[in-house]
Amino acid sequence: MTLPDQSNLVRWGKSTEKTCYICGKAVGTAKHLLVGCKVFLDSGQYSRRHDRVLEVIREAVSLSVARAQKEITTNERSVGFVREGTRVTKSNVKPYSILKAASDWTIMMDTYEKQYKIPEDICASASRPDIFLFS
C-alpha cells in the first residue's frame, strides 16, 4: 500500500506541489511525515502518536494479566472432542505463564505527559523503558 503523500501525489499527476504541506520546506514523503517533519516534532505530534501506541500495548498487556488471573481463580475445563475410532491422547503438560505467578501486577508507562522511573527497589537503573510491568 502506498500513502498519498505529496511526493506520490506529484508522481500520480494529482498535484504539482512536492513540498510538505505541514512545514513547506522538505519534500513531503511518507518518511518525512512519519518521522522527519520539524513542525510535527516541535508540536509534540510524534510523542502523542507514540503514546497512543503505548496505550494500545498497555491495554493488551492488561487483558493478558486479567486473563491469567481469571485462570488462577476459576477452574475452567475444556472439552476435547475425539473422532469415533480414535484414541484420546492425554497431555500432562500445562502451558506456563509468568503472569499466573502473582496477583498484584502493576503497569507503568513513560509518556509525553508523565515520565516514570523504574522504582529502585525493583531495579537500580538509569534506563527509561516506555512501558514496564512488575509485581
What is the per-residue pLDDT across 84-129, written as a single tens digit (0 to 9) for each? 888 877 766 666 788 888 888 988 888 877 887 777 888 777 777 8
Cell of 58: 498497555
- What is the tens place of the pLDDT at every residue in 27-83? 888 888 888 899 989 998 888 888 999 999 999 999 999 888 887 655 555 677 788
Residue whose C-alpha cell reads 492425554 in the numeric block: 90
H-helix or E-strand containing 107? strand 106-109
From CA 28, how far away is CA 14, in angstroms rounded?
14
